[in-house]
Structure 1
Amino acid sequence: MGTALYNEHFGFRERPFSLSPDPEFLFWSKVHTRALSVLEYGLMTRAPLTVVTGEVGTGKTTLIQELLRTIDDDQIVGLISNARGDRGDLLRWVLGAFDVAAPASADYVTLFQRFQDFVLAEYAAGGHVVLIVDEAQNLGVETLDELRMLTNINSGKDELLQIVLVGQPELRDLIRRPELRQVAQRVTSTYHLEPMDLGSTLNYVHHRLKHAGGTGKEFTHAAICHIHEEAEGIPRMINKLCDLALVYASSAGETTVEIGIIKELIRDGLILKPYREPHVLTNPIDGSGEAAE
């Protein structure tokens, strides 16, 4: 029995645990609220660089989408995902994010001048340019430093370009490297999106069930606790487990997901956990680029 039929079985209007990022389903846990506040603070204060990190599946992309929904009309936003390459490639990514045309034969100086002209023209028209780079941990040291150089475009008193870096935890360690100390010095605000605790997971599951038209009681407390343990508090993994659990329950004619169903789908090998090397975050980045004590 597929997901469409479990919707009918449980009376849902739509899948409560779709894996696609959907701001309509965004659950405002404490960590997600703080992360969005940091992003909004960075934009409000015209911070040159804002950094938000988190493990895969913690909701970073959904936060970006929510930020884009609420951004001011005078802010011209460009979004880059999974950019790679040298500094010339970076400028083409950046220009493409803002739909600024660039000749294929243009050299680095020409590309930089074209972007600078774009930023200055938007500023003269009362606009403010914001570049959001998702999966920024994929950028190398030279590319990150090149992004920092872009923030030097200014009018003498105003920051005309803001950059928001979003990525996995290793992005923070990358920025702390000695050769990127000037990048760290430009970081005005930074936040690490931690996995949810058990209380947040319970509220998260209830929230999504109700938002989809359910009662919020389709899962027992014990089942959600086991889901939280298996998912390690990662929203994307919680969604996978809950979605499959609803398929199992509906195929068995059950109206409630018990802990036994969760254990059964785990035994059946339907969930492949990604391997993650142990990662210990060092102290937060402060305004001077040094690790705060």
Structure 2
Amino acid sequence: MTRSDLLYAGHFGLTERPFSLVPDPGFLFWSKAHQRAFAVLEYAIYTKAPITLITGEIGTGKTTLLQELLSRLQEDVTVGLISNAQGGRGELIQWILNALQIPLYPTASYVQMFQTLQDHLLAEYAAGRRVILVFDEAQNLSMEGLEELRMLTNINSNKDVLVQLVLVGQPELRDMVQDPRLEQLLQRIASNYHLRDMEPEVMRGYIEHRLKVAGGRGDEFQPDAFDMIFQETHGTPRLVNQLCDFAMLYAWSSEETQVSADTIQQILDDGVYMRRQRRVDRETT
């Protein structure tokens, strides 16, 4: 008996768990919102936009979209991926140098680090390569950090931008960049998109899609279960995954071939699924 069998997959005839919380581009569900967000990302990259902003609630699929984008980039692109960067002046440059695998001397001053980065960007440009810096969870950056990033866009060849920035984060990042103190940064954001939670029908398609990718039929959930799942998750993909994963586990333990509304209710009654307070989504353009 394999580990997958022990985790209910074999019971439903699946080849793997369909609702893992780990971002996996192989399970990417192309809802209209995700298609638009990805189109914005691709457009920004290939038109050499100085700064691109992608925001959304926790678990809406931002990181999965990023991974899909990175897998499609051509070989003439150098990518530096920075996650959860924090710190004051100078520390952000260290994060960037590390992401680009540029050797850093411990005693280097801020000016020396900045010069090292600038020389690297110029060398990449001379070699016909573009540099893209992707900042995931960028809401953790300070106002000072965001302004420091804006200064990087001043590095140019008098014709082309030498580095493109992609800022990805939670909705508060959108508020941060609209702060009057970051007016110059805001003006350089050429493309932006805000991912919202899924509507009920989209969520149902998402669940069925993941089941089919995992080797299922897509009808492992009874129709009455979807309403309860949406009521509890409000269509946030990561929360949908968590609740559906428990649902299939519970159905397997009860030797049921489908997940019903009663299955979902049992999970809620047992308290194994942690509910969260819904945050009102902001209207954005």
**Distance in 1 between residues matched to 2:230 and 2:193, nearest whole Å:** 23
The question of whether the paired residues in 2 share the 8 Å contact of 1:48 and 1:161 is answered with: yes
* Match in the other structure for 2:255: 253
The question of whether the paired residues in 1 share the 8 Å contact of 2:5 and 2:11 is answered with: no
Letter in 2 for 1:45: T
Letter in 2 for 1:46: K
* Match in the other structure for 1:202: 204
Letter in 2 for 1:281: R
1:252 deviates by: 0.5
**Relative to 1, partners in 2 of residues 1:23 and 1:259: Cα closer, same or farther, differing over 3 Å?**
same
Computed over aligned residues only, the root mean square deviation of the Cα atoms, in angstroms, reads 1.4
Picking from 116, 119, 123, the partner of 1:117 is 119
**Distance in 1 between residues matched to 2:48 and 2:60, nearest whole Å:** 26
- Report sequence identity in percent: 53
Letter in 2 for 1:82: N
**Relative to 1, partners in 2 of residues 1:189 and 1:264: Cα closer, same or farther, differing over 3 Å?**
same
Q: How many residues align?
A: 283
1:281 deviates by: 2.8
Matching of residues 26-105 of structure 1 within 5 Å: 26-105=28-107
Letter in 2 for 1:205: I
TM-score (norm 1): 0.94
Q: Tell me, what secondary structure is at the counterpart of 1:6?
A: coil
The question of whether the paired residues in 1 share the 8 Å contact of 2:211 and 2:217 is answered with: yes
The question of whether the paired residues in 2 share the 8 Å contact of 1:3 and 1:247 is answered with: no
* Match in the other structure for 2:246: 244
* Match in the other structure for 1:288: none
Matching of residues 17-32 of structure 1 within 5 Å: 17-32=19-34
The question of whether the paired residues in 2 share the 8 Å contact of 1:17 and 1:242 is answered with: yes
Q: Tell me, what secondary structure is at the counterpart of 1:271?
A: coil
Gaps of 5+ in 1: 285-293
The more displaced of 263-272 and 185-194 is 263-272
Q: After superposition, give the CA deviation of every residue in 1:233-269 in whole Å (9 maximum; x if it has no partner).
A: 1000000111000010011010011111001101111
Q: Tell me, what secondary structure is at the counterpart of 1:163?
A: strand
TM-score (norm 2): 0.96
The question of whether the paired residues in 2 share the 8 Å contact of 1:29 and 1:200 is answered with: yes
Please tell me whether residue 128 in structure 1 is matched to residue 130 in structure 2: yes
